[in-house]
Amino acid sequence: MFPFRAAVLPFALVVGAGGLGAARAEAAPAVNMDEVVVQSQVEPVTGQTKLPGDAGVEAVQRALSAEGHQTGADGWYGTETVAAYSEWQQDLGHSGIGANGIPGPSSLTELGDGRFSVERKIDVGGRTSYSGQPVNQRTADMLAEADGKLGWKITVSQGSYQGCSDASSCTHAGGGAIDIAVSELSAEQRWKTVKALREVGFAAWLRTPEQADWPYHIHAIAIGDTDTHREAADQIADYHAGKNGLASHAPDNTPETYRAPFTWWEAHERG
């Protein structure tokens, strides 16, 4: 009897342990990257919102704490979480835009190792151009989609990854930032272009000479771009709050007819 029991007992333990491990693996939370990224751009400015993804943010916060980076686990991606995530990115050897506190696919995957899986990843792709101006592939795809909604071509007059300047501060220093020329468009065409950009996931506004010493143009930031400079992310937060994305933080002057629900590229693609 004893030899028989000795053979059976380890088998039962192995099966039980395997079952428990499988159950734990199945119970590991899934983090939707696109939701967490959008919260990381909006909530440091606006406070906690009703945007989806609080559970994912909380999972990220717990993982950051486990890595020794101080942040609460409340589902609010505030400035403390931005700082903690930036420290994590620096731990991985990133700097500059790569340590902007906005989760990228590689840093988020590594943070989630053994803690959570990463779904609905954002991939901005490599550097390319649109109308001869530098953008990343995600921004180019968004522009092409907006272009297809219009009967005229979108002409980008200033692209992304341009560094900081007196004219635009640092909003064009990272990815997802563009200016669009509108001098050849009618007033209606300008507003329709703003709406098309918003529908595919840009925070977009028509800039006017009354606002500053510049010609009419459209300024837009691709919501959810992981290469976004923090100054550009602040403009996304302003857009979410119905403001103009300028230092005045005045109400958005876009006529109701040309507004669109807040969205981002991946959500637009899912329909």
The three-state secondary structure class of 92 is coil
Residues 134, 244: one domain? yes
For 63-91, what is each residue's pLDDT tens digit? 999 999 999 999 999 999 999 999 999 99
Identify the pLDDT of residue 27. 67
Residues 181, 227: one domain? yes
Q: How many structural domains comprise the chain?
A: 2
Residues 204, 104: one domain? no
4 domain-assigned? no
Give the domain extent around 242.
127-270
For 197-224, what is each residue's pLDDT tens digit? 999 999 999 999 999 999 999 999 999 9
What mean pLDDT do residues 1-7 have? Answer: 37
Provide DSSP, 187-202: HHHHHHHHHHHHHHTE
The length of the chain is 271
Residue 106 confidence (pLDDT) above 70? yes
Identify the pLDDT of residue 82. 98
What's the pTM value of the predicted model, to 2 decimals? 0.90
Residue 21 confidence (pLDDT) above 90? no
Residue 17 confidence (pLDDT) above 50? no
Residues 228, 263: one domain? yes
